[in-house]
Chains A and B, each alone.
Chain A
Amino acid sequence: MTARSTGRRIRPSGGYELFMWYFMRLSGLALVFLAVGHLFIMHILNNVETINYAFVASRWTAPRTGWIWRLWDASLISLAVIHGFNGLRQVLYEYLSAGGRIVAGTVTWALTAVFIGAGGYSILMFQPDEGFIKEHPLKIERTTEISSASAPPASQPISVAR
Protein backbone atom coordinates (compact mmCIF):
# COMPACT_ATOMS: atom_id res chain seq x y z
CA MET A 1 0.00 0.00 0.00
CA THR A 2 1.13 3.53 -0.53
CA ALA A 3 1.85 5.40 2.62
CA ARG A 4 0.38 8.85 2.65
CA SER A 5 2.98 11.34 3.72
CA THR A 6 1.74 12.86 6.91
CA GLY A 7 3.08 15.20 9.46
CA ARG A 8 2.12 18.02 11.73
CA ARG A 9 3.97 21.13 12.57
CA ILE A 10 4.07 22.64 15.98
CA ARG A 11 5.93 25.70 17.09
CA PRO A 12 9.60 24.82 17.56
CA SER A 13 10.61 25.16 21.17
CA GLY A 14 13.34 27.45 22.30
CA GLY A 15 15.07 27.97 25.59
CA TYR A 16 18.49 27.90 27.17
CA GLU A 17 18.94 24.12 27.48
CA LEU A 18 17.79 23.49 23.90
CA PHE A 19 20.12 26.18 22.59
CA MET A 20 23.08 24.86 24.55
CA TRP A 21 22.35 21.31 23.37
CA TYR A 22 22.41 22.47 19.75
CA PHE A 23 25.50 24.54 20.40
CA MET A 24 27.28 21.46 21.77
CA ARG A 25 26.52 19.59 18.54
CA LEU A 26 27.68 22.36 16.23
CA SER A 27 30.74 23.35 18.27
CA GLY A 28 31.70 19.70 18.63
CA LEU A 29 31.63 19.32 14.88
CA ALA A 30 33.62 22.53 14.35
CA LEU A 31 36.14 21.53 17.03
CA VAL A 32 36.89 18.27 15.28
CA PHE A 33 38.22 20.25 12.31
CA LEU A 34 39.76 23.09 14.32
CA ALA A 35 41.48 20.94 16.93
CA VAL A 36 42.58 18.15 14.62
CA GLY A 37 43.76 20.73 12.08
CA HIS A 38 45.65 22.55 14.83
CA LEU A 39 47.35 19.34 15.96
CA PHE A 40 48.15 18.40 12.38
CA ILE A 41 49.82 21.73 11.67
CA MET A 42 51.66 21.88 14.98
CA HIS A 43 52.79 18.28 15.27
CA ILE A 44 52.91 16.79 11.80
CA LEU A 45 53.50 19.60 9.31
CA ASN A 46 55.91 21.22 11.78
CA ASN A 47 58.19 19.65 14.29
CA VAL A 48 57.29 20.64 17.86
CA GLU A 49 60.91 21.55 18.46
CA THR A 50 60.69 24.33 15.91
CA ILE A 51 57.66 25.93 17.56
CA ASN A 52 58.69 28.96 19.50
CA TYR A 53 57.68 32.58 19.98
CA ALA A 54 58.97 33.56 16.56
CA PHE A 55 57.00 30.75 14.93
CA VAL A 56 53.72 31.92 16.45
CA ALA A 57 54.54 35.55 15.71
CA SER A 58 55.29 34.76 12.07
CA ARG A 59 51.94 33.02 11.70
CA TRP A 60 49.86 35.70 13.36
CA THR A 61 51.58 38.60 11.62
CA ALA A 62 51.83 37.07 8.15
CA PRO A 63 50.63 39.76 5.75
CA ARG A 64 48.04 37.75 3.82
CA THR A 65 47.25 34.78 6.05
CA GLY A 66 47.75 36.23 9.52
CA TRP A 67 44.07 36.96 10.07
CA ILE A 68 43.16 33.37 9.17
CA TRP A 69 45.40 31.96 11.90
CA ARG A 70 44.19 34.49 14.42
CA LEU A 71 40.58 33.67 13.54
CA TRP A 72 41.35 29.95 13.71
CA ASP A 73 42.97 30.20 17.12
CA ALA A 74 40.32 32.56 18.50
CA SER A 75 37.53 30.23 17.30
CA LEU A 76 39.36 27.24 18.70
CA ILE A 77 39.73 28.72 22.16
CA SER A 78 36.20 30.21 22.27
CA LEU A 79 34.40 27.10 21.12
CA ALA A 80 36.55 24.76 23.19
CA VAL A 81 36.14 26.78 26.38
CA ILE A 82 32.36 27.19 25.99
CA HIS A 83 31.98 23.54 24.99
CA GLY A 84 34.10 22.33 27.89
CA PHE A 85 32.58 24.50 30.58
CA ASN A 86 29.04 23.80 29.39
CA GLY A 87 29.82 20.09 29.64
CA LEU A 88 31.11 20.64 33.17
CA ARG A 89 27.96 22.62 34.01
CA GLN A 90 25.78 19.77 32.75
CA VAL A 91 27.62 17.26 34.92
CA LEU A 92 27.46 19.55 37.98
CA TYR A 93 23.72 20.10 37.45
CA GLU A 94 23.12 16.40 38.00
CA TYR A 95 24.43 16.61 41.52
CA LEU A 96 23.10 20.00 42.59
CA SER A 97 19.79 21.38 43.75
CA ALA A 98 18.24 24.57 42.34
CA GLY A 99 20.42 26.89 44.44
CA GLY A 100 23.60 24.99 43.69
CA ARG A 101 22.77 25.05 40.00
CA ILE A 102 22.62 28.84 40.00
CA VAL A 103 26.07 28.96 41.61
CA ALA A 104 27.46 26.32 39.21
CA GLY A 105 25.98 28.08 36.19
CA THR A 106 27.35 31.47 37.27
CA VAL A 107 30.82 30.14 38.08
CA THR A 108 31.19 28.14 34.86
CA TRP A 109 30.03 31.04 32.70
CA ALA A 110 32.28 33.47 34.59
CA LEU A 111 35.28 31.18 34.04
CA THR A 112 34.27 30.85 30.39
CA ALA A 113 34.33 34.63 30.04
CA VAL A 114 37.69 34.95 31.81
CA PHE A 115 39.39 32.31 29.66
CA ILE A 116 37.97 33.59 26.39
CA GLY A 117 38.78 37.17 27.43
CA ALA A 118 42.41 36.35 28.23
CA GLY A 119 42.89 34.06 25.23
CA GLY A 120 41.06 36.32 22.82
CA TYR A 121 43.00 39.36 23.97
CA SER A 122 46.32 37.56 23.47
CA ILE A 123 45.39 36.31 20.03
CA LEU A 124 43.68 39.34 18.55
CA MET A 125 45.79 42.12 20.13
CA PHE A 126 49.14 40.39 19.59
CA GLN A 127 52.05 42.63 18.57
CA PRO A 128 55.37 40.86 17.95
CA ASP A 129 58.33 41.75 20.15
CA GLU A 130 61.00 42.24 17.47
CA GLY A 131 63.89 42.28 19.93
CA PHE A 132 62.89 38.94 21.40
CA ILE A 133 62.50 37.42 17.94
CA LYS A 134 66.04 38.61 17.06
CA GLU A 135 67.41 36.79 20.09
CA HIS A 136 65.32 33.67 19.48
CA PRO A 137 64.82 33.45 15.72
CA LEU A 138 62.70 31.07 13.73
CA LYS A 139 64.16 27.58 13.64
CA ILE A 140 62.88 27.02 10.11
CA GLU A 141 62.79 29.44 7.23
CA ARG A 142 59.10 29.38 6.51
CA THR A 143 56.41 27.99 8.68
CA THR A 144 52.93 27.30 7.58
CA GLU A 145 52.93 28.34 3.95
CA ILE A 146 52.17 24.92 2.58
CA SER A 147 53.44 25.87 -0.90
CA SER A 148 56.92 26.30 0.54
CA ALA A 149 56.77 23.38 2.92
CA SER A 150 59.20 21.44 0.79
CA ALA A 151 62.56 20.24 2.05
CA PRO A 152 63.88 22.21 5.02
CA PRO A 153 67.22 24.03 4.65
CA ALA A 154 70.21 21.74 4.62
CA SER A 155 71.62 23.34 7.75
CA GLN A 156 68.49 22.37 9.67
CA PRO A 157 68.87 18.95 11.23
CA ILE A 158 65.70 16.95 10.95
CA SER A 159 64.93 15.39 14.28
CA VAL A 160 63.80 11.84 14.57
CA ALA A 161 60.08 11.31 14.36
CA ARG A 162 58.51 10.22 17.61
Chain B
Amino acid sequence: MLSQAELIDPQARTLTVRIKRYNPEVDEKPHWEEYKVEADGHDRVLDVIQKVKWEQDDTLSLRRSCAHGVCGSDAMRINGSNGLACKILVKNLRSDTLTLEPILGLPVLKDLIVDMKPFFDHYKSVMPFLVNDEQPPTAERLQSPAERARFDESTKCILCACCTTACPPFWGDRKYVGPAAIVNAHRFIFDSRDRGAAERLEILNDAEGVWRCRTVFNCTSACPRDIKVTQTISEVKRLLMTGNIDLDTAPSVVIGN
Protein backbone atom coordinates (compact mmCIF):
# COMPACT_ATOMS: atom_id res chain seq x y z
CA MET B 1 0.00 0.00 0.00
CA LEU B 2 1.20 3.48 -0.82
CA SER B 3 1.17 5.94 2.01
CA GLN B 4 -0.67 9.24 1.65
CA ALA B 5 2.63 11.08 1.57
CA GLU B 6 3.85 9.01 -1.35
CA LEU B 7 0.68 9.73 -3.27
CA ILE B 8 0.99 13.47 -2.74
CA ASP B 9 4.72 13.67 -3.39
CA PRO B 10 5.36 11.03 -5.98
CA GLN B 11 9.04 11.65 -6.70
CA ALA B 12 8.63 13.95 -9.68
CA ARG B 13 11.67 14.06 -11.94
CA THR B 14 12.77 15.69 -15.13
CA LEU B 15 13.68 12.99 -17.57
CA THR B 16 15.93 13.31 -20.55
CA VAL B 17 14.23 11.06 -23.05
CA ARG B 18 16.41 9.78 -25.88
CA ILE B 19 14.42 8.13 -28.64
CA LYS B 20 15.81 6.35 -31.67
CA ARG B 21 13.86 7.94 -34.51
CA TYR B 22 13.51 6.66 -38.06
CA ASN B 23 11.25 7.90 -40.81
CA PRO B 24 11.72 5.75 -43.91
CA GLU B 25 10.51 8.56 -46.19
CA VAL B 26 13.15 11.02 -45.03
CA ASP B 27 15.92 9.30 -43.12
CA GLU B 28 18.60 7.08 -44.57
CA LYS B 29 19.26 5.55 -41.17
CA PRO B 30 17.92 5.93 -37.64
CA HIS B 31 19.09 8.83 -35.51
CA TRP B 32 18.68 9.89 -31.88
CA GLU B 33 16.48 12.72 -30.66
CA GLU B 34 16.25 14.12 -27.17
CA TYR B 35 13.29 15.50 -25.25
CA LYS B 36 12.87 16.87 -21.73
CA VAL B 37 9.82 15.56 -19.93
CA GLU B 38 8.50 16.38 -16.47
CA ALA B 39 7.40 13.03 -15.13
CA ASP B 40 5.67 11.85 -12.01
CA GLY B 41 7.14 8.88 -10.17
CA HIS B 42 3.96 6.94 -10.75
CA ASP B 43 3.90 7.68 -14.47
CA ARG B 44 4.60 4.76 -16.72
CA VAL B 45 7.23 4.95 -19.44
CA LEU B 46 4.30 4.89 -21.85
CA ASP B 47 2.93 8.10 -20.27
CA VAL B 48 6.31 9.74 -20.78
CA ILE B 49 6.32 8.78 -24.46
CA GLN B 50 2.79 10.06 -24.89
CA LYS B 51 3.76 13.36 -23.28
CA VAL B 52 6.45 13.63 -25.95
CA LYS B 53 3.99 12.76 -28.70
CA TRP B 54 1.11 14.91 -27.47
CA GLU B 55 3.02 17.94 -26.23
CA GLN B 56 6.32 18.10 -28.10
CA ASP B 57 6.55 16.11 -31.33
CA ASP B 58 3.46 14.54 -32.83
CA THR B 59 5.45 12.84 -35.58
CA LEU B 60 6.68 10.24 -33.06
CA SER B 61 5.24 6.85 -33.93
CA LEU B 62 4.65 3.97 -31.57
CA ARG B 63 2.29 1.07 -31.04
CA ARG B 64 0.09 0.90 -27.98
CA SER B 65 -3.35 -0.41 -27.40
CA CYS B 66 -4.60 -1.45 -23.97
CA ALA B 67 -1.80 0.33 -22.07
CA HIS B 68 -2.21 -2.11 -19.18
CA GLY B 69 0.24 -4.89 -19.95
CA VAL B 70 -2.29 -7.20 -21.54
CA CYS B 71 -2.16 -6.64 -25.29
CA GLY B 72 1.63 -6.61 -25.63
CA SER B 73 1.81 -3.99 -28.38
CA ASP B 74 4.17 -1.49 -26.74
CA ALA B 75 7.20 -3.76 -26.40
CA MET B 76 10.37 -1.73 -26.82
CA ARG B 77 13.97 -1.52 -25.70
CA ILE B 78 13.92 0.61 -22.56
CA ASN B 79 17.33 1.63 -21.21
CA GLY B 80 18.86 -1.33 -23.01
CA SER B 81 16.48 -4.07 -21.95
CA ASN B 82 13.23 -5.18 -23.46
CA GLY B 83 9.96 -4.49 -21.72
CA LEU B 84 6.47 -3.11 -22.07
CA ALA B 85 6.41 0.68 -21.81
CA CYS B 86 3.08 0.43 -19.98
CA LYS B 87 4.48 -1.78 -17.21
CA ILE B 88 7.56 0.18 -16.18
CA LEU B 89 7.12 3.05 -13.73
CA VAL B 90 9.25 6.19 -13.81
CA LYS B 91 10.15 5.77 -10.13
CA ASN B 92 11.78 2.44 -10.99
CA LEU B 93 14.13 3.99 -13.56
CA ARG B 94 17.70 4.05 -12.29
CA SER B 95 18.79 7.25 -14.01
CA ASP B 96 17.16 10.43 -15.24
CA THR B 97 18.00 9.51 -18.81
CA LEU B 98 15.42 7.31 -20.49
CA THR B 99 16.66 5.65 -23.66
CA LEU B 100 14.06 4.15 -25.98
CA GLU B 101 14.69 2.03 -29.05
CA PRO B 102 12.57 -0.29 -31.17
CA ILE B 103 13.01 -3.98 -30.27
CA LEU B 104 16.00 -5.54 -32.01
CA GLY B 105 16.04 -8.20 -34.69
CA LEU B 106 12.89 -7.16 -36.54
CA PRO B 107 12.76 -4.66 -39.43
CA VAL B 108 12.00 -1.13 -38.20
CA LEU B 109 9.05 0.44 -40.04
CA LYS B 110 9.02 3.82 -38.31
CA ASP B 111 10.41 5.12 -35.00
CA LEU B 112 9.44 2.53 -32.35
CA ILE B 113 7.32 0.42 -34.70
CA VAL B 114 8.77 -2.81 -36.06
CA ASP B 115 7.44 -5.28 -38.62
CA MET B 116 6.09 -8.17 -36.51
CA LYS B 117 5.49 -10.46 -39.49
CA PRO B 118 8.70 -12.53 -39.15
CA PHE B 119 7.87 -12.99 -35.47
CA PHE B 120 4.34 -14.21 -36.16
CA ASP B 121 5.56 -16.44 -39.00
CA HIS B 122 7.78 -18.25 -36.49
CA TYR B 123 4.84 -18.42 -34.09
CA LYS B 124 2.61 -19.99 -36.74
CA SER B 125 5.30 -22.48 -37.73
CA VAL B 126 4.95 -24.44 -34.47
CA MET B 127 1.18 -25.08 -34.89
CA PRO B 128 -0.04 -23.02 -31.92
CA PHE B 129 -3.50 -24.60 -31.83
CA LEU B 130 -5.10 -27.73 -30.40
CA VAL B 131 -4.47 -30.79 -32.54
CA ASN B 132 -6.70 -33.74 -31.75
CA ASP B 133 -8.39 -35.91 -34.36
CA GLU B 134 -9.93 -38.32 -31.87
CA GLN B 135 -13.71 -38.56 -31.59
CA PRO B 136 -14.68 -35.54 -29.44
CA PRO B 137 -16.65 -36.33 -26.29
CA THR B 138 -20.23 -35.04 -26.01
CA ALA B 139 -19.15 -32.53 -23.35
CA GLU B 140 -15.77 -30.85 -22.92
CA ARG B 141 -12.47 -32.69 -23.05
CA LEU B 142 -11.89 -33.02 -19.33
CA GLN B 143 -8.61 -32.21 -17.67
CA SER B 144 -7.47 -32.45 -14.06
CA PRO B 145 -6.23 -29.32 -12.25
CA ALA B 146 -2.75 -30.85 -12.24
CA GLU B 147 -2.87 -31.40 -15.98
CA ARG B 148 -4.00 -27.82 -16.50
CA ALA B 149 -1.29 -26.54 -14.19
CA ARG B 150 1.35 -28.37 -16.21
CA PHE B 151 1.28 -25.80 -19.01
CA ASP B 152 -0.03 -22.82 -17.05
CA GLU B 153 3.30 -21.03 -17.35
CA SER B 154 3.22 -20.97 -21.14
CA THR B 155 -0.45 -19.89 -21.40
CA LYS B 156 0.56 -16.52 -20.00
CA CYS B 157 2.30 -15.44 -23.21
CA ILE B 158 0.86 -12.31 -24.87
CA LEU B 159 3.10 -12.45 -27.95
CA CYS B 160 4.72 -9.08 -27.32
CA ALA B 161 8.06 -10.33 -28.75
CA CYS B 162 10.08 -9.04 -25.79
CA CYS B 163 11.74 -12.45 -25.35
CA THR B 164 12.49 -13.27 -28.97
CA THR B 165 13.96 -9.84 -29.68
CA ALA B 166 16.09 -10.02 -26.51
CA CYS B 167 17.63 -13.30 -27.65
CA PRO B 168 21.24 -12.99 -28.95
CA PRO B 169 20.99 -16.15 -31.10
CA PHE B 170 17.88 -14.61 -32.73
CA TRP B 171 19.72 -11.34 -33.42
CA GLY B 172 22.31 -13.32 -35.37
CA ASP B 173 19.99 -15.88 -36.93
CA ARG B 174 16.56 -14.60 -37.94
CA LYS B 175 15.52 -18.09 -39.03
CA TYR B 176 15.65 -19.34 -35.44
CA VAL B 177 12.04 -19.83 -34.30
CA GLY B 178 12.85 -17.95 -31.11
CA PRO B 179 11.73 -18.25 -27.49
CA ALA B 180 8.14 -17.02 -27.99
CA ALA B 181 7.37 -19.68 -30.59
CA ILE B 182 8.83 -22.38 -28.35
CA VAL B 183 6.78 -21.17 -25.37
CA ASN B 184 3.65 -21.40 -27.49
CA ALA B 185 4.58 -24.85 -28.73
CA HIS B 186 5.16 -25.85 -25.10
CA ARG B 187 1.66 -24.64 -24.27
CA PHE B 188 0.16 -27.35 -26.50
CA ILE B 189 2.81 -30.05 -26.25
CA PHE B 190 2.19 -30.37 -22.50
CA ASP B 191 -1.61 -30.09 -22.81
CA SER B 192 -3.16 -33.49 -22.01
CA ARG B 193 -5.90 -32.85 -24.62
CA ASP B 194 -3.47 -32.30 -27.45
CA ARG B 195 -2.15 -34.98 -29.80
CA GLY B 196 0.15 -32.91 -32.01
CA ALA B 197 3.27 -33.11 -29.85
CA ALA B 198 5.23 -35.37 -32.20
CA GLU B 199 4.68 -33.04 -35.15
CA ARG B 200 5.63 -29.93 -33.20
CA LEU B 201 8.70 -31.62 -31.75
CA GLU B 202 9.85 -32.54 -35.22
CA ILE B 203 9.74 -28.86 -36.14
CA LEU B 204 11.56 -27.86 -32.96
CA ASN B 205 14.24 -30.56 -33.37
CA ASP B 206 15.43 -28.78 -36.50
CA ALA B 207 18.73 -26.87 -36.53
CA GLU B 208 16.61 -23.68 -36.36
CA GLY B 209 14.55 -25.05 -33.46
CA VAL B 210 15.33 -25.38 -29.76
CA TRP B 211 19.00 -26.24 -30.38
CA ARG B 212 19.80 -22.67 -31.32
CA CYS B 213 19.00 -21.78 -27.70
CA ARG B 214 22.18 -21.22 -25.70
CA THR B 215 20.41 -20.56 -22.39
CA VAL B 216 21.37 -16.90 -22.30
CA PHE B 217 18.32 -16.24 -20.05
CA ASN B 218 17.67 -12.85 -21.74
CA CYS B 219 14.18 -14.11 -22.61
CA THR B 220 13.34 -14.92 -19.01
CA SER B 221 14.47 -11.52 -17.74
CA ALA B 222 12.72 -9.70 -20.60
CA CYS B 223 9.31 -11.38 -20.22
CA PRO B 224 6.78 -8.85 -18.90
CA ARG B 225 4.54 -11.75 -17.88
CA ASP B 226 7.28 -13.38 -15.80
CA ILE B 227 7.16 -16.58 -17.78
CA LYS B 228 10.16 -18.79 -17.07
CA VAL B 229 10.95 -18.87 -20.77
CA THR B 230 14.32 -20.57 -20.55
CA GLN B 231 12.78 -23.28 -18.39
CA THR B 232 10.01 -23.99 -20.91
CA ILE B 233 12.62 -24.24 -23.67
CA SER B 234 14.64 -26.65 -21.53
CA GLU B 235 11.55 -28.77 -20.90
CA VAL B 236 11.07 -29.09 -24.64
CA LYS B 237 14.74 -30.04 -25.07
CA ARG B 238 14.47 -32.69 -22.36
CA LEU B 239 11.29 -34.06 -23.92
CA LEU B 240 13.00 -34.30 -27.30
CA MET B 241 15.63 -36.48 -25.71
CA THR B 242 13.50 -38.70 -23.49
CA GLY B 243 10.22 -38.78 -25.41
CA ASN B 244 8.46 -38.66 -22.07
CA ILE B 245 5.66 -36.09 -21.88
CA ASP B 246 5.07 -35.73 -18.17
CA LEU B 247 1.62 -34.21 -18.05
CA ASP B 248 1.28 -33.35 -14.40
CA THR B 249 4.72 -32.30 -13.21
CA ALA B 250 4.38 -28.60 -12.68
CA PRO B 251 7.18 -27.79 -10.26
CA SER B 252 6.45 -24.09 -10.03
CA VAL B 253 2.68 -24.14 -9.67
CA VAL B 254 0.80 -24.79 -6.46
CA ILE B 255 -2.48 -26.48 -7.24
CA GLY B 256 -5.68 -25.49 -5.48
CA ASN B 257 -4.22 -22.26 -4.20
Contact = CB atoms under 8 A, between A and B. Distances in A.
A1 B145 contact: yes
Nearest to B176: A94
A18 B212 contact: no
A66 to B, nearest CB: 37
Contacts of B131: none
Contact of B240 (A1, A5, A12): A12
B50 interface: no
Interface string A91-119: 00111000001000000000000000000
Contacts of B173: 93-95
A1 B237 CA distance: 31
A17 B211 contact: yes
A147 interface: no
Contacts of A17: 205-207, 209, 211
A3 B146 contact: yes
A6 B147 CA distance: 8
Given A3-B144, A3-B255, A21-B237, A15 B205 contact: yes
B200 to A, nearest CB: 10
A18 B241 contact: yes
A3 B248 contact: yes
Contacts, number: 75
A129 B154 CA distance: 64
A17 B241 CA distance: 11
A94 B197 contact: no
B240 A4 contact: no
Contact of A7 (B169, B207, B244): B244
Interface of A: 1, 3-13, 15-18, 20-22, 90, 93-95, 101
Given A6-B144, A6-B192, A8-B247, 10 more contacts: A3-B145, A3-B146, A7-B244, A7-B246, A8-B245, A10-B197, A10-B201, A12-B240, A13-B205, A21-B237
7 nearest interchain CB pairs? A94-B172, A12-B243, A3-B146, A17-B211, A94-B173, A6-B247, A13-B240
Interface of B: 144-147, 168-169, 172-173, 176, 192, 197-198, 201-202, 205-207, 209, 211-212, 214, 237, 240-248, 255-256
8 contacts: A10-B201, A10-B245, A11-B198, A12-B242, A13-B202, A18-B205, A94-B169, A94-B212
